[in-house]
Amino acid sequence: MAREPKTREPSARSRNAARPPQRPSAVRLWFKRRRSWLRGVGMASIGLGALGALAIGIVALDPMARLRDATGWLASLGRGPGLSIQEIRIEGREFAPREALLASIGTVPGDAMLDFDPEAAKQRLEQIAWVEHAHVERRLPGTILVRLTERRAFAVWQRDGRFSVIDREGRVMATERLEAFGPLPLVVGTGAERVAASMIDLLRGAPEIADRVQAIVRVSERRWNLRLQNGADIMLPEGHEEAAITRLAELQARDKLLDRPLVAVDMRLPDRLVVRMQPAPPTVTPATATRSQRG
């Protein structure tokens, strides 16, 4: 009886060669491409774990003294090369004193970056009269960046012979070098700085009046007088300044009232307008002139 020929099993290499090529899975490719990054994360995790274990061990041995030593050691790392403050950069400063800003920032080059608190520095900076808003951040390796928004000068306030630059809310911004701010409205009197903004806005809406006003004077902390360039006073009614300014503009447009030799215009009464004129110079007659020459 004839024997059937034996068939050999194909080897693993032959089977793999016979298979059609397959595309690697997306997950496998992701892990392959990020192998070095994952290795770094693993090493960092090991390092952090070691530091944590070291801290736990220190606390277990001596909860107070050893922990203080470890804290000091970690802080000293922040003073090493690349982790100390090299530059303090201030952006947006125009008038705010640089010395006051640096004192409020509260650090100097050479200090540790990790010891610096940006939020605390921001709060201190915003207490300076010049500073409306401050943004403070750490920029590695060694820069402290401060961005300022300064308050805008709004008017000059005079009280008891002293002059100050104020912002719109009446906060004093400067008491020296006032000429550096250019021409600003002048407000006078106790309490004038707190309520001047609305009055200045009204005058800006009536330029034919504003151009003739030298100062806005607060009277008894209740109402306003307008002191004109020629020395005349316009007495405005309390609480009805807008209507009075509108009426005054109409009188100026129609009658040129403010161009006359005025002493005062009293607008405090709702039903009348009282105008006081400068006295006319005495007329000189020929007989009077002759007598004065003889005398």
Residue 1 — pLDDT band, cuts 50, 70, 90?
A: very low
pLDDT confidence bin for 203, thresholds 50/70/90: very high
What's the average model confidence in pLDDT over 122-147?
Answer: 93
d(C-alpha 260, C-alpha 270), whole Å: 23
Q: Are 198 and 228 in contact (CB under 8 A)?
A: no
Average pLDDT score over residue span 71-99: 76
162-166 and 155-159 beta bridge pairing: antiparallel
Cα–Cα dist 214/250, whole Å: 20
Q: Model confidence over 181-199: pLDDT tens digits? A: 889 999 999 999 999 999 9
Per residue in 212-259, pLDDT (tens digit) is: 999 999 999 999 999 999 999 999 999 999 999 999 999 999 999 999
Measured CA to CA, the distance from residue 192 to residue 218 in angstroms comes to 5
Task: Please state, in angstroms and rounded to a whole number, the distance separating the CA atoms of residues 135 and 93.
Answer: 12
**Above 70 in pLDDT, residue 8?**
no
Mean pLDDT of 71-85: 60
The answer, yes or no, to whether residue 21 has pLDDT greater than 70, is no
Ordered by where they begin, the domains of the chain are 87-150 (3.10.20.310), 155-277 (3.40.50.11690)
Dump the DSSP string for the chain.
-PPPPPPPPPPHHHHHHHSPP-PPPHHHHHHHHTHHHHHHHHHHHHHHHHHHHHHHHHHHH-TTHHHHHHHHHHHHHTTSTTSB--EEEEES-SSS-HHHHHHHHT--TTSBGGG--HHHHHHHHTTSTTEEEEEEEEETTTEEEEEEEEPPP-EEEEETTEEEEE-TT--EEESS-GGGG-S--EEESTTHHHHHHHHHHHHHT-HHHHTTEEEEEEETTTEEEEEETTS-EEEPPTT-HHHHHHHHHHHHHHH-GGGS-EEEEE--STT--EEEEPPPPPP--HHHHHHHHH-
Per-residue confidence (pLDDT) for residue 40, from 0 to 100:
46
Judging by DSSP bridges, how do beta strands 213-219 and 223-228 pair with one another? antiparallel
Count CB-CB contacts under 10 A for residue 192: 24
pLDDT given for residue 214 in this prediction: 96
